[in-house]
């Protein structure tokens, strides 16, 4: 019972933080608001609300809850992939050549995940929900974790001054890595009570961790990506002015 | 089975990696001036001299004394963080995260000591957390002392 209360408290506080962060980012007039996190945050909030409602109305073992759980999970995984793509775009904001290559790579990876999931699904036909979607979600989820780590390495490689993006990427890393480790442990311990209760707490805790890191990044860290663009304009203007004077 | 074990190891490593990077990014925050000096002098904290001796001279470390120095400074600073010029009398979220990070690094220092690997690095990380805390306390005290006063008001009140 106590465990349930803590679980519910974590779940609902996660929903509250998500809503507060969406409102803050959407309403803030500062230049440093990262709009790229809004689609993922909105999907997270919608998924949490839908799951909470279905759980209360139909119960944990109902077919309705199962449908809602897996379809919202599908939505979340797609939006997570989209989020990582947006972060890549922001990282390559001033490097168009690199972005062209990264864009192709991301499209290829997405197709590869769809292909592999389809192939695995074709070997054991079941219904679409427990077959293809579960397989696809797991594969794309782990791919997002790997892509996020590659993005972090890319930021180090290009010596990015965008601290806000760095923190946003770290938040995503916490959100992806924690549940992946917990679910792997759950799988290894074949669903024992300890692993089950660990998964029950760590997954919402990791989500809250990500939201708090994002909140810190949004509130305290300036978006230097746009500042770099601003800094380039006077240089161009200066050169043009110099050219005009010369002419 | 092997794949699950591999994912468990990789994901756990990535989780701790991201946790550490997040803390280090928070610690990189720039303060408009070095507030920590006044707090260090007023409370006779020892971490700056410890860091200086490690950075400049690479001095051999008396481990029990080092542990005690770090722990005492940590206790003093966390008390100040909570109670000095803090209206809410509680830690902020990033302070909680850094307290957790400090404890994690403190544990890692003991492990590194046993394995005799990278002790200096762990000590420097611990001192950087303490410096951040001292900077936050110093900034708060400074804001409260001069918060609503202009230079003229301050002089008139003397």
Nearest CA in chain B to A183: B8
Q: What's the CA dihedral at A181, A183, A184, A186 to 10 degrees?
A: 120
Beta carbons within 10 angstroms of residue A50's beta carbon: 16
Angstrom distance (rounded) from CA A178 to CA A220: 25
The answer to whether the CB of A203 falls within 8 A of the CB of A196 is: no
Angstrom distance (rounded) from CA B37 to CA A108: 54
Sign of CA dihedral A166, A168, A170, A173: negative
Structure-token pair, residue B13: 């490593």
Cβ contact (<8 Å) for A166 and B25? yes
In angstroms, what separates the C-alpha of A204 from chain B's closest C-alpha? Answer: 15
Angstrom distance (rounded) from CA A105 to CA A99: 10
Structure-token pair, residue B17: 């990696």
For A236-247, write each residue's pLDDT tens digit.
444 444 445 444
pLDDT of B151 higher than 60: no
| Band (A17; pLDDT cuts 50, 70, 90) | very high
Cβ contact (<8 Å) for A170 and B12? no
Chain A interface includes B139 (CB < 8 A): no
Which of A228-232, B121-125, B146-150 has the lowest average pLDDT?
A: A228-232
Please tell me which of the candidates A170, A180, A187 has its beta carbon nearest to residue B21.
A170
Nearest CA in chain B to A179: B11
Angstrom distance (rounded) from CA A176 to CA A142: 8
- pLDDT on residue A41: 92
- pLDDT on residue B129: 93
Cβ contact (<8 Å) for A178 and B15? yes
Among B35, B142, B27, CA closest to B95: B27
Which string of b and e fits A192-207 if b means at least 16 CB within 10 Å?
eeebeebbbebbbbbb
Rounded mean pLDDT of chain A?
80
Chain A interface includes B31 (CB < 8 A): no
In angstroms, what separates the C-alpha of B3 from chain A's closest C-alpha? Answer: 9
Beta carbons within 10 angstroms of residue A116's beta carbon: 15
End-to-end CA distance of chain A: 81
Nearest CA in chain B to A190: B1
Cβ contact (<8 Å) for A170 and B25? yes
pLDDT of A45 higher than 50: yes
Angstrom distance (rounded) from CA A61 to CA A183: 20
HEC secondary structure over chain A: CHHHHHHHHHHHHHHHHHHHHHHHHHHCCCCCCCHHHHHHHHHHHHHHHHHHHHHHHHCCCCHHHHHHHHHHHHHHHHHHHHHHHHHHHHHCCCCHHHHHHHHHHHHHHHHHHHHHHHHHHHHCCCCCHHHHHHHHHHHHHHHHHHHHHHHHHHHHHCCCCCHHHHHHHHHHHHHHHHHHHHHHHHHHCCCCHHHHHHHHHHHHHHHHHHHHHHHHHHHHCCCHHHHHHHHHHHHHHHHHHHHHHHC
In angstroms, what separates the C-alpha of B20 from chain A's closest C-alpha? Answer: 9
Cβ contact (<8 Å) for B19 and A163? no
For A108-127, write each residue's pLDDT tens digit.
988 888 888 777 767 666 66
Which of A138-152, A212-226, B19-33 has the lowest average pLDDT?
A: A212-226
Angstrom distance (rounded) from CA B5 to CA A189: 10
Angstrom distance (rounded) from CA B89 to CA A226: 37
In chain A, which residues have their Cβ closer than 8 Å to the Cβ of B12?
A: 177, 181
The answer to whether the CB of A213 falls within 8 A of the CB of A174 is: yes
In chain B, which residues have their Cβ closer than 8 Å to the Cβ of A212?
A: 93, 97
The contacts of residue A212 (CB under 8 Å, 6+ apart) are A17, B93, B97
Report whether CATH 1.20.1070 matches the domain A2-246: yes
In angstroms, what separates the C-alpha of A176 from chain B's closest C-alpha? Answer: 8
Higher pLDDT, A32 or A229: A32
Concatenate the DSSP letters of all residues of chain B into one string. -HHHHHHHHHHHHHHHHHHHHHHHHHHTPPPSS-THHHHHHHHT--HHHHHHIIIII-PPP-HHHHHHHHHHHHHHHHHHHHHSS-TT-S--HHHHHHHHHHHHHHHHHHHHHHHTSSHHHHHHHHHHHHHHHHHHHHHHHHHHHHTT--HHHHHHT-
- Say what the pTM is: 0.79
pLDDT of A107 higher than 60: yes
A vs B: CB pairs below 8 A: 62
Cβ contact (<8 Å) for A184 and B8? yes
Residue spans per domain, chain B: 2-147
Angstrom distance (rounded) from CA B90 to CA B113: 33
pLDDT of A130 higher than 50: yes
The contacts of residue A141 (CB under 8 Å, 6+ apart) are A77, A80, A176, A180
Mean pLDDT of B70-88: 87
In angstroms, what separates the C-alpha of B35 from chain A's closest C-alpha? Answer: 18
């Amino acid at each position: 019972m106590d465990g349930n209360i803590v679980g519910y408290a974590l779940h609902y506080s996660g929903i509250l933080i998500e809503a507060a962060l969406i409102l803050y980012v959407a309403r803030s007039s500062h230049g440093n608001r990262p709009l790229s996190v809004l689609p993922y945050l909105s999907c997270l909030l919608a998924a949490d609300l839908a799951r909470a409602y279905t759980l209360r109305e139909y119960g944990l073992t109902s077919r309705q809850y199962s449908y809602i759980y897996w379809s919202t999970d599908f939505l979340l995984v797609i939006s997570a992939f989209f989020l990582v793509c947006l972060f890549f775009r922001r990282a390559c904001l001033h490097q168009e050549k690199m972005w062209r290559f990264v864009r192709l790579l991301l499209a290829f990876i997405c197709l590869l995940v769809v292909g592999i999931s389809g192939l695995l699904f074709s070997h054991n036909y079941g219904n679409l929900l427990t077959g293809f979607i579960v397989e696809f979600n797991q594969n794309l989820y782990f791919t997002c974790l790997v892509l996020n780590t590659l993005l972090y390495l890319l930021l180090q490689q290009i010596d990015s001054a965008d601290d806000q993006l760095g923190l946003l990427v770290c938040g995503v890393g916490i959100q992806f890595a924690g549940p992946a480790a917990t679910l792997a442990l759950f799988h290894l311990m074949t669903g024992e009570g300890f692993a089950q209760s660990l998964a029950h707490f760590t997954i919402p805790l990791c989500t809250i961790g990500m939201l708090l890191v994002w909140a810190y990044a949004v509130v305290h860290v300036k978006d230097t990506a746009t500042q770099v663009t601003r800094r380039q304009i006077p240089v161009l203007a200066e050169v043009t002015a110099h050219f005009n004077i010369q002419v | 089975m092997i794949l699950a074990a591999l994912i468990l190891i990789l994901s756990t490593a990535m989780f701790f990696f991201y946790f550490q990077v997040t803390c280090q990014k928070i610690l990189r925050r720039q303060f408009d001036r070095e507030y920590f000096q006044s707090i260090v002098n007023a409370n006779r904290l020892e971490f700056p001299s410890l860091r200086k001796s490690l950075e400049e001279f690479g001095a051999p470390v008396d481990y029990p004394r080092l542990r005690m120095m770090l722990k005492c400074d940590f206790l003093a600073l966390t008390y100040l963080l909570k109670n000095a010029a803090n209206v809410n009398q509680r830690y902020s979220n990033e302070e909680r995260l850094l307290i957790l990070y400090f404890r994690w690094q403190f544990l890692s220092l003991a492990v590194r000591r046993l394995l005799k690997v990278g002790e200096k690095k762990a000590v420097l990380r611990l001192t950087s957390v303490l410096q951040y805390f001292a900077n936050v306390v110093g900034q708060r005290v400074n804001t409260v002392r001069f918060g609503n006063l202009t230079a003229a008001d301050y002089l008139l009140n003397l």
